[in-house]
Amino acid sequence: MTDRHYRMPVTINNEDDSHPSNPSAGPVMTDLIAQRMSRRTALKGLLASAAIGAIGVGSGLAARPAKAAASLSFSEIPHGYDENLHIPAGYTANPILRWGDPIVAGAPDFDPAKQDAAAQAQQFGYNNDFVHFAPLPEGSDASDHGLLIVNHEYTDAHLIFPGFADGKAALAATTAEMAAYEQAAHGLSVVEIKREASGWAVVKDSKFNRRITLATEMELVGPAAGHDRLKTSADASGTKVFGTLNNCAGGWTPWGTILSAEENTHQYFGGDPAGTPEAANAKRIGIKGEPSYAWGKFEDRFDISKEPNEPNRFGWIVEVDPYDPATKPVKHTALGRFKHEAATTVINGDGRLVVYTGDDERFEYVYKFVSNGTYDAAKGRANSALLDDGTLYVAKFDADGNVTWMPLVHGQGELTEANGFHGQADVLIEARRAGDLLGATKMDRPEDIEASDKTGKVYVVLTKNDKRKAEQVDAANARADNKWGHIVEMVPPTAGGKADHAATAFTWSAFIQAGNPGDAAQGAAYGGAVTDAGWFANPDNVAFDAAGRLWIATDGFPDHGVHDGLWVTETEGEGRAITRHFLGCPRGAELCGPAFTPDGKTLFVSIQHPGDEDGSNFAAPTTRWPDFKDGVPPRPAVVAITKDDGGEIGA
């Protein structure tokens, strides 16, 4: 979610300064430039940072090297900002799942004038974020039949309920019925879809169709499960929790399940954490008695003064089996607790499982988990145990171009009894504080992290950090007041001819410094000249297509006057880091997803929070996308995009 879309009066979650910024003295700018210059000589192909001088920009914005377009033949759309969704000529966009659409058998139709929690629990939830296409039958590479798994990150009360001027008014007036509705609109949806001659359609009443909400029972597993700090008055076992919160992006596993990332979970907990045993922990994660939801008024578990451990049961990576609606989702504590954006799984060359995940807040960290055991396809779902036994690492990006992965293991380094870590459970519950003590690199809001299966390189997407001061600039976060965001490329070493994602030493370099290359003050840098429409800001979620091209979704570009949307680039060759504009969102929306079918011929995107702008509300929204009917507010929706000639998207 973009930070201005938090409900008011919010402690703006991603703008949260509840923890101290880096207390260590940062190197001064001139030192950093010198360091980067030497790195530039050392690392071939390194993109210069802004302070050195952007490569390839300023040489005529309208010109694009011919080679950049070699594998991308669509006509770029222009920057814009209006009520509609925009895609290139020759493509069709079909909203296939809208907030309120009936999902499970017997679900009532959407009625925006009469929101009802029981109905919503059977309908497609609000603010769709992560999207994954899982083929049917399972194990096939079908691209015309499958399951869509979708996260529902949060709710915008003033766009859901009639009669509220803004989020602040809605929060003050929240009733128990509204709170129940909001809880039913959170979680995930699993929906069977089929591609017919007329396009993609939902399979109504499918046995796979399922809603997961705050009422869904889940299991806590891994090293922290059952720990005293996960026990509540409702759960003496510390292993049973109802629901999942603020499911942002995610990932999928080789054994057919998906991983859903709990992000801004702090905003649901009211009450004063001061005086509870979890006060310091609550502060570090951003809980400070100013919730964005009123749930604590109606349910003790959302009041930290009454149930201080309940927040410790959220902020994890949640595994969901879309193929078996009877299964309980599982929260894997070995992957740490923080504001997870995504969870990207790679089977390493040696068979171990590696999961990349970032903590999306200003000055937070990049993590990876490496399993002890190795993946065995014959074991199917039992491979899930790999996620419970392994090592969580946090990243340090050095000015010399090295990345050091530091283990978050109790008893090692600073993670000791003396520092208040009594065991591995404490390290995982307070992963942020563990990262602080190890001196991890404070990044400009780590959103998605994805690994290319073509090159083995790993892309870390940093959306922005307008609180970074000049004295806090470091090599990997090279711009003060970074309003535009950037993408860092990590390169694992090779072992046996394959990228060794489990290694503790990688190298890194800058891939793109987002922003307008026509404004030198922004310090934007691409791989070459981009068109007027090709530059972007605030990268968030990314996906690779079958050809290995990187598709970049944005969240926050409206702050720079342009719709959020989708840009695409090659990662190698002459088109490397030269982005082209493919899709523009309706106003107020950010773009989430994106996800491709295995054949690359359908692209699914999430249009999240359309019409969420200042002054926009249920009665007078700034867009009524996608229905455009009087009385119907804008509806977050998943859109299927296909090429009219039946070809691959983008090609």
Binding site for ligand FEO (CB under 6 A): 1, 153, 248, 263, 341, 360, 447, 540
Query: CB of residue 9 vs ligand FEO: minimum separation in angstroms?
Result: 20
- Evaluate whether 151 touches 128 at the Cβ level (below 8 Å): yes
Query: CB of residue 151 vs Ca ion: minimum separation in angstroms?
Result: 10
Residue closer to ligand FEO by CB (options 153, 474) is 153
Residue closer to ligand FEO by CB (options 76, 555) is 555
How far apart, in whole angstroms, are the C-alpha atoms of residue 485 and residue 525? 11
3-state SS, residue 515:
coil
| Contact stretch for Ca ion (CB under 5 A) within 185-193, 271-279, 316-324, 549-557 | 549-557
Phi and psi, residue 608, nearest 5°: -105, 140
- Evaluate whether 357 touches 368 at the Cβ level (below 8 Å): yes
Considering CB distances under 5 to 8 angstroms, the limit depending on partner class, which of Ca ion, ligand FEO, none binds residue 153?
Answer: ligand FEO
Helices marked H in 186-300 — which ranges?
279-285
* CA distance to 1, 32, 633, per residue, from 229 (Å): 28, 42, 42
- Burial classification of residue 44, based on how many CB atoms lie within 10 Å of its CB (0-12 exposed, 13-18 middle, 19 or more buried): exposed
Rama region for 419: left / alpha / beta (φ>0; ψ in -120 to 50; rest): alpha
Residue closer to ligand FEO by CB (options 166, 341) is 341
The closest alpha carbon to 13, from 445, 408, 342, belongs to: 445
Return the residue of 540, 545, 564, 648 that touches Ca ion, per CB under 5 A: 540
Query: CB of residue 171 vs Ca ion: minimum separation in angstroms?
Result: 21
Position of minimal CB gap to Ca ion: 555
How far apart, in whole angstroms, are the C-alpha atoms of residue 134 and residue 483? 35
Query: CB of residue 469 vs ligand FEO: minimum separation in angstroms?
Result: 22
Q: Tokens 């990876």 correspond to what residue?
A: 368
- Evaluate whether 639 touches 86 at the Cβ level (below 8 Å): no
| Contact stretch for Ca ion (CB under 5 A) within 130-138, 246-254, 409-417, 475-483 | 246-254
The closest alpha carbon to 268, from 155, 122, 163, belongs to: 155
Residue closer to ligand FEO by CB (options 46, 431) is 431
- Name 352's bridge partners: 374
Considering CB distances under 5 to 8 angstroms, the limit depending on partner class, which of Ca ion, ligand FEO, none binds residue 179?
Answer: none
Considering CB distances under 5 to 8 angstroms, the limit depending on partner class, which of Ca ion, ligand FEO, none binds residue 500?
Answer: none
Residue closer to ligand FEO by CB (options 307, 540) is 540
Give the DSSP H or E segment for 184. helix 176-185
Residue closer to ligand FEO by CB (options 229, 609) is 609
Tell whether residue 612 is a contact of Ca ion (CB under 5 A). no
Tell whether residue 555 is a contact of Ca ion (CB under 5 A). yes
| Contact stretch for Ca ion (CB under 5 A) within 39-47, 188-196, 304-312, 547-555 | 547-555
Query: CB of residue 249 vs Ca ion: minimum separation in angstroms?
Result: 5
Query: CB of residue 447 vs ligand FEO: minimum separation in angstroms?
Result: 5
Q: Strand 258-262 relative to strand 247-252: parallel, antiparallel, unpaired?
A: antiparallel
Considering CB distances under 5 to 8 angstroms, the limit depending on partner class, which of Ca ion, ligand FEO, none binds residue 476?
Answer: none
Give residues in contact with Ca ion (CB under 5 A).
248, 540, 555
